[in-house]
Amino acid sequence: MFKTRLISGIVLVAAALALIIAGNDVLLVSALVISYIGMFELYRIFKIEKAAPGVIGYLAATVYYANLRFGFLDDMMIFAILFLILLMFAYVFTYPKYRTEQLLAAFFGVFYVAVMLSYVYQTRMLTAGAYIVWLIFLCSWGCDTCAYCVGVLIGKHKMAPKLSPKKSVEGAVGGVLGAALLTVIYCFIFKDAMGVTTSHIAVLAAISAIGALVSMVGDLTASAIKRNYEIKDYGKLIPGHGGILDRFDSVIFTAPMIYFLAANFVVL
């Protein structure tokens, strides 16, 4: 199991490296495809993965990503309202085929998966985004690894015992500090290429610490949904890891946080 998980992890990191380095339309289309899969996994819980609400959700995700590329909608509230109206059409004209929670899940899935994951691409497109985008993964996967190691070594106080019994407060602190430290190391390695000063590095480390905190919420959110619906994993796409949502649960939350913090507080 460990060997399978390790090999899958290496392949996943290699794929992330290739896609993010490529950036532009390659990353945009890849993020959309990953969003489709993640939405499918979520929709499957509510039995709408192949039904009208799910299809409308996939179409909404496509429109959202197309707008990122071509910018035909200035106000995204229009997108949200039209999406909701289409879902209500499906709801009322097929009544009582779908339950209210299925329509809510369809709406939620687009924003929870597709919109939030799109910030990986949007961060990549920032000035110096080719470097800043990696903070998303340092915050999520780096925090997860550091939290696990610290938790195993000294973890005593449970952070969320009913939701995730193995996670500890000590591990959480280790994850946040680990993410910040990894960011400092990363920034010093690429200091000249990024054109950053010591003050920039301090700001980026602070952003990573905040992102690490948010990543834990993302991880626990995915766990809460699974526990509510009594499933072990969202899927089996990634051997040893589960589905897209099992592996990208923290990235989904971290990406928009890093984007907004970096866009507003980092000037490179």
pLDDT tens sequence across 173-191: 899 999 999 999 999 998 8
Write down which residue in 78, 94, 125 finishes a domain: 125
Query: If you search the block for the tokens 């996967």, which residue do you land on?
Result: 141
112 lies in the same domain as 146: no
At residue 238, φ and ψ (nearest 5 deg) are: -110, 105
2 lies in the same domain as 78: yes
Angle, in degrees to the nearest 10, between helices 169-189 and 143-154:
140
Structural contact between residues 195 and 268, judged by C-beta atoms closer than 8 angstroms: yes
This prediction has a pTM of: 0.92
121 lies in the same domain as 177: no
Which tokens hold the place of 191? 């200091």
100 lies in the same domain as 27: yes
136 lies in the same domain as 113: no
Task: Give Dmax (Cα) for the chain.
Answer: 61
61 lies in the same domain as 24: yes
Question: How far is 193 from 186, CA to CA, in rounded Å?
Answer: 11
185 lies in the same domain as 241: yes
21 lies in the same domain as 120: yes
Structural contact between residues 262 and 135, judged by C-beta atoms closer than 8 angstroms: yes
212 lies in the same domain as 257: yes
Backbone region of residue 57 per phi and psi (left: phi > 0; alpha: psi in -120 to 50; beta: other values): alpha
Which tokens hold the place of 127? 């000035």
152 lies in the same domain as 256: yes
The distance of Cα 12 from the centroid of its chain, to the nearest Å, equals 14
Q: What is the pLDDT of residues 57-115, one digit of tens each?
A: 999 999 999 999 999 998 999 999 999 999 999 999 999 999 999 999 999 999 999 99
Locate the DSSP E strands across the chain: 158-160, 164-168
Q: What is the pLDDT of residues 15-67, one digit of tens each?
A: 888 988 888 999 999 999 999 999 999 999 999 999 999 999 999 999 999 99
- Domain tally, the chain: 2
Q: Which domain holds residue 18?
A: 1-125
Write down which residue in 69, 93, 125 finishes a domain: 125
117 lies in the same domain as 134: no
Write down which residue in 96, 125, 154 finishes a domain: 125
139 lies in the same domain as 121: no
- The Cα-based distances of 161 to 61, 98, 112, 167, 169 in angstroms read 35, 35, 25, 8, 11
Question: How far is 27 from 122, CA to CA, in rounded Å?
Answer: 10
Question: How far is 158 from 141, CA to CA, in rounded Å?
Answer: 21
Question: How far is 241 from 6, CA to CA, in rounded Å?
Answer: 9
Q: Which comes out higher in pLDDT, residue 169 or 45?
A: 45
Q: What is the pLDDT of residues 216-255, one digit of tens each?
A: 998 899 889 998 998 888 988 777 678 899 888 889 999 9
SS3 16: helix
